[in-house]
Chains A and B, each alone.
Chain A
Amino acid sequence: MSTSLPPTQITPDISAIDAARLVASGEVSSVELTTLFLDRIEAHRDLNAFIEVPRERALAEAAEADAKRKQGAIAPLLGVPIAVKDLILTQGVRTTAASKILSNFIPPYDATVVSRLRAAGAVVVGKTNLDEFAMGSSNETSFFGPVKNPWDTSRVPGGSSGGSAAAVAARLAPAALGTDTGGSIRQPAALCGIVGMKPTYGRVSRYGVVAYASSLDQVGPMTRTVADSALLCGVLSGEDKHDATSSNRAVPDLVAACQRPVKGLRVGIPREYFVSGLSPEVKESVLRVAATLEAQGMIPVDISLPHSEVGLAVYYVLAPAEASSNLARYDGIRYGHRSTDAKGLTEVYRKSRSEGFGREVKRRIVIGSFVLSSGYYDAYYIRAQKTRTLIAQDFSNAFRDKCDVILAPTSPTTAFKAGEKTADPLAMYLNDIFTIPVNLAGLPGMSVPCGFDGQGLPIGAQLIGRPFDEETLFSVAAAFERVDTSWQKIPNGYA
């Protein structure tokens, strides 16, 4: 396949699929394409979307991709620049988790998702900023400073994958990887007007991803188009012997799923997601999505997910509990920051950690210690695990009896002002109220652009599917994208 675009007319708005096609046909070299994006990353440093940009190495990878193409190699992302969240290990390229404690860490190996990207021919163009250890919803807890939202630089891009979302929205890369523990792909995707996909728990390997809450963490693509999301999701998915929780189920052709008809599919509208706290503009926009899908032959159905309200409380017991255990490994001994002001082993642990972790991370570790401590374990941790069962049952009942896909808001509001919620952790946590239940139930969830508010800020609609039924999500998202042009709009100054 070829396209009529000569190299001089490649625009930064190019999709990953079109970029791959141009490289494969020889009309554009990977070096040209990679240079274009590296230059844009440099020109838009003010967004602070990247922590590390290994320019020479990326250009060498691009040259290698061009050489492979000339030798006849075919790969789905051959020569395409992709940004990677700096929570995901890249061999030989600094990986910090946006924390002081890992600020000089050079991983000795690639995460499985990075190996898979490389096997597909992709060029890793840079490591994107995030909330420290992925703990945050605004990208304001990073040791390397906050990320700005390209739609309005006085506002946050969401989090924790805020650097990836801002980079893709500002056309600094055609696509990026994010991670999602309670909404960290979908919420920033919504706030930056892009497509963010969290696959089913177990679909994608977590090996080499800095662990936050292991029973919830999942890697996924952040792109501007649904088809790009499907292509990347397919590349990332599959069993990995290094991750015992990765699924051995076959990975379907997700790009083909984008062409499937949606007529007759039932879309559940959970009444608990359209109540107080939801911005009227977001509500209106998401309900318009339901009408658009109905016009394409889908059947809207009123559903109830009665335990949604306690999802946030469950999350803020289980995620900190898992984090307090996972982050015990940062002790100043084997890697990472060691305090120079400590005597004896106990002081090395305590001072290295107190100096190395930021406030939000320490807050969550302490909450985790609390809910796991004797006397509170049953009342908090076990009770939260039982309530998690009820939340998962709500979804399975809805999918068994009522609907094939669920439509909900991704975030209660559009992008808020930087600094607006940093003083009140609970107000910040409420940003993830609509995304958290999906992680607790291990379901696939996706945010797609569905409009703009009165201030021109993007709004995201969330689609939630049955376990391992990413195909239906991509079918519905693609059907919506064909008739709604919100995804095409470029933030001012980033064309």
Chain B
Amino acid sequence: MGEESRPVSSHPLSEDAVEKLIKLSALDPQSEDIPHLRGELEKILGHVDSLQGVDVSNVDPTSHASEAHNVFRNDVLGEHLPIEVVLGQAPDSSGRYLRVPLIIEG
């Protein structure tokens, strides 16, 4: 292990590609410093590219380190949080409902 290998990513990202990723991430492209972020991503992905040298043929992927088991429960009503407490955390609400901005625009 060490800091010696920092290859440049074999998948250079254009600024347009970074902007697309920002939108995919539900972030605001106008508020983000795209050139700076692009430089950081290139460096990080450059390090991540060391994975391409690992022989993973015939290896199964691991998604979880747990002893996976199904959990079965009876389909009965359990405890739930009081609605007024939950709505109390919402930025905006009305009666028993969350208030959201206009959804169908135009």
- A residues in contact (CB < 8 Å) with B: 105-106, 108-109, 201-202, 215-216, 241, 244-245, 247, 272-273, 275-278, 307-310, 312-314, 316-317, 324, 328, 331-338, 342-351, 353-355, 357, 362-363, 365-371, 373, 376, 379-380, 382-390, 392, 425-427, 429-430, 433-434, 439-442
B40 at the interface (CB under 8 A from A): yes
Complex contact B86–A108 (CB within 8 A)? yes
Complex contact A105–B54 (CB within 8 A)? no
Complex contact A277–B3 (CB within 8 A)? yes
Where chain A touches its partner, the secondary structure class is: helix
Q: Identify A334's interface contact among B3, B71, B90, CB under 8 A.
A: B90
B94 at the interface (CB under 8 A from A): no
Q: Identify B48's interface contact among A277, A307, A313, A382, CB under 8 A.
A: A313
Complex contact B50–A313 (CB within 8 A)? yes
B8 at the interface (CB under 8 A from A): no
CB neighbors of A among B56-71 (8 A): 56, 59-67, 71
Q: A316 to B47, alpha carbons, bound, how many Å?
A: 9
Given contacts A342-B101, A353-B27, 4 further A-B contacts (CB under 8 A): A313-B48, A343-B102, A353-B28, A441-B65
Q: Identify A313's interface contact among B51, B59, B62, CB under 8 A.
A: B51
7 A-B pairs in the complex with CB atoms less than 8 angstroms apart? A202-B65, A215-B63, A276-B1, A316-B44, A386-B60, A389-B59, A389-B60
Complex contact A373–B21 (CB within 8 A)? yes
Q: A241 to B44, alpha carbons, bound, how many Å?
A: 38
B91 at the interface (CB under 8 A from A): yes
Where chain B touches its partner, the secondary structure class is: loop
Of chain B, the residue at the smallest CB distance from A442 is B65
B76 at the interface (CB under 8 A from A): no
Complex contact A370–B101 (CB within 8 A)? no
Complex contact B59–A344 (CB within 8 A)? no
Of chain B, the residue at the smallest CB distance from A388 is B62
B24 at the interface (CB under 8 A from A): yes
CB neighbors of A among B1-18 (8 A): 1-4, 6, 11, 13, 18
Q: Which residues of A contact B41 (CB under 8 A)?
A: 363, 366-367, 370
- B residues in contact (CB < 8 Å) with A: 1-4, 6, 11, 13, 18, 21-29, 31-32, 37, 40-41, 43-45, 47-52, 54, 56, 59-67, 71, 73, 81-82, 85-86, 88-92, 98, 100-103, 105
Least CB distance, B12 to chain A, in whole angstroms: 12
Complex contact A363–B91 (CB within 8 A)? no
Q: Which residues of B contact A338 (CB under 8 A)?
A: 91-92
Q: Which residues of A contact B73 (CB under 8 A)?
A: 241
Q: A442 to B67, alpha carbons, bound, how many Å?
A: 10
Complex contact B51–A310 (CB within 8 A)? yes
Complex contact B56–A331 (CB within 8 A)? no
Q: Which residues of A contact B52 (CB under 8 A)?
A: 379, 383
Q: Which residues of A contact B60 (CB under 8 A)?
A: 386, 389
Most buried by A among B3, B49, B66, B103: B66
Q: A333-B91, A366-B22, A390-B59 are in contact. Are A345 and B66 (CB under 8 A)?
A: no
Q: A429 to B1, alpha carbons, bound, how many Å?
A: 13
Complex contact A386–B61 (CB within 8 A)? yes
Q: Which residues of B contact A442 (CB under 8 A)?
A: 64-66
Q: A426 to B13, alpha carbons, bound, how many Å?
A: 17
Least CB distance, A383 to chain B, in whole angstroms: 5
Q: A312 to B50, alpha carbons, bound, how many Å?
A: 10
Complex contact B26–A331 (CB within 8 A)? yes
Q: Which residues of A contact B59 (CB under 8 A)?
A: 386-387, 389-390
Least CB distance, A327 to chain B, in whole angstroms: 9
Complex contact B48–A349 (CB within 8 A)? no
Q: Identify A345's interface contact among B1, B4, B51, B103, CB under 8 A.
A: B103
Q: A411 to B28, alpha carbons, bound, how many Å?
A: 36
Least CB distance, A41 to chain B, in whole angstroms: 27
Complex contact A201–B65 (CB within 8 A)? yes
Complex contact B66–A247 (CB within 8 A)? yes
Q: A344 to B101, alpha carbons, bound, how many Å?
A: 5
Q: Which residues of B contact A313 (CB under 8 A)?
A: 47-51
Q: Which residues of B contact A434 (CB under 8 A)?
A: 1
Q: A362-B25, A390-B59, A433-B1 are in contact. Are A440 and B65 (CB under 8 A)?
A: yes
